[in-house]
Structure 1
């Protein structure tokens, strides 16, 4: 896993790190139980402060993506996949709410809405 940070980004460095690690976990590049670089080694490789990496890791731990074991390092949390799936379901719910609202406004029946969803879902298979 390669992490790239930029001083020209609008996001703070710690957020850039946290987002890249979250993305690697969400897309399966990092799996539950996988070790992630130590705070010191990542700070050294990125030429940034240990405190910045520590803040990124604290954010990831607070969000449930990683676990830290004293003396052993940081690992992808076993629960991170469940957390990720829950997050994705919430995004889908938001889209469904918008679709239902549009259907109601335009008098589109529930059956037509379900048929459309089924058609779109099966189209990708």
Structure 2
């Protein structure tokens, strides 16, 4: 599992780690039942506090992405298709909200934004 941290990011380190692990699970790079690095090992590899990695694993567990077995470690949780789909939608909604806010700040109208999206879809050949 490859995690890249950016010190100049607006996101706190724990959020960067959590987002990247979550994305790896959603993309299927981390499979159901696969063991994650130990909290200490991940902290050491990323050169962050053990408390930071513990917080990441705790939050991922609360969100249903990870299960922790005492004395054995943390593992990718069994797939919950509905949860995965909702999480993917939420990620897209957040990005779209950012794009919409940027568009308004730049004076780009809703119609112009729609046109841009249509052009992107046509380029990708992904009209649905």
Superposed displacement of residue 8, structure 1 = 1.4
CA RMSD of aligned residues (A): 2.5
Relative to the length of structure 2, the TM-score reads 0.67
**Count, aligned residues:** 98
Q: Which residue of 1 is the match for residue 56 of structure 2? A: 56
Shift of 1:72: 0.4
Alignment of 1:2-17 (within 5 A): 2-17=2-17
Larger radius of gyration: 1
The structure 1 segments of at least 4 consecutive aligned residues displaced by more than 3 Å after TM superposition are 79-82, 86-92
Match in the other structure for 1:112: none
Deviation at 1:88, TM superposition (A): 3.9
Structure 2: 5+ residue stretches without partners: 97-125
- Deviation by residue 1:67-122 (Cα, 9 ceiling, x = unmatched): 01111000000035441123346789xx9xxxxxxxxxxxxxxxxxxxxxxx933x
TM-score (normalised: structure 1): 0.68
Kept in 1, the 8 Å contact 2:26–2:88? The answer is no
The separation in 1 between residues aligned to 2:63 and 2:4, in whole angstroms, is 21
